[in-house]
C-alpha cells in the first residue's frame, strides 16, 4: 500500500509538471473503477479497496500540487535569469 501511495504521488508530480488540473478528474475516476477488481483480486472487501483508492487519489492530488509548484518555481527562477537587469557602473 505504501509503495502504491508513493507511486501515486510521483505520477501526480509528473502530471503537475505537464498538464492542467482537469487531468486529475479522469485519472481519479479510472483509479476508482480499477480499485474494486484489484481489491477483490487481493482478497479485500469493496470498502477497503475504495478506501485505498481514496487515499491514493489524495496522494495523486498532493503530488500534482507539488509538481505544479515545482513547475512555477522553476519558471520563476528561469525568468529571473533571462530578464536580469544590467548593472550600471556609472551614474
Sorted by where each begins, the domain ranges of the chain are: 2-73
Query: Where do we find the cell 473503477?
Result: 33
pLDDT category of residue 42 using cuts at 50, 70 and 90 = confident
* Confidence (pLDDT) at 84: 63
Percent of the chain with pLDDT over 70: 87
pTM over 0.85: no
Amino acid at each position: 500500500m505504501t509503495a502504491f501511495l508513493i507511486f501515486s504521488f510521483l505520477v501526480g508530480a509528473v502530471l503537475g509538471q505537464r498538464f492542467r488540473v482537469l487531468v486529475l478528474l479522469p485519472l481519479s475516476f479510472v483509479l476508482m473503477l480499477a480499485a474494486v477488481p484489484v481489491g477483490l483480486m487481493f482478497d479485500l472487501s469493496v470498502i477497503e479497496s475504495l478506501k485505498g483508492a481514496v487515499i491514493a487519489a489524495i496522494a495523486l492530488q498532493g503530488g500534482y500540487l507539488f509538481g505544479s509548484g515545482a513547475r512555477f518555481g522553476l519558471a520563476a527562477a528561469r525568468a529571473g535569469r533571462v530578464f536580469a537587469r544590467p548593472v550600471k557602473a556609472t551614474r
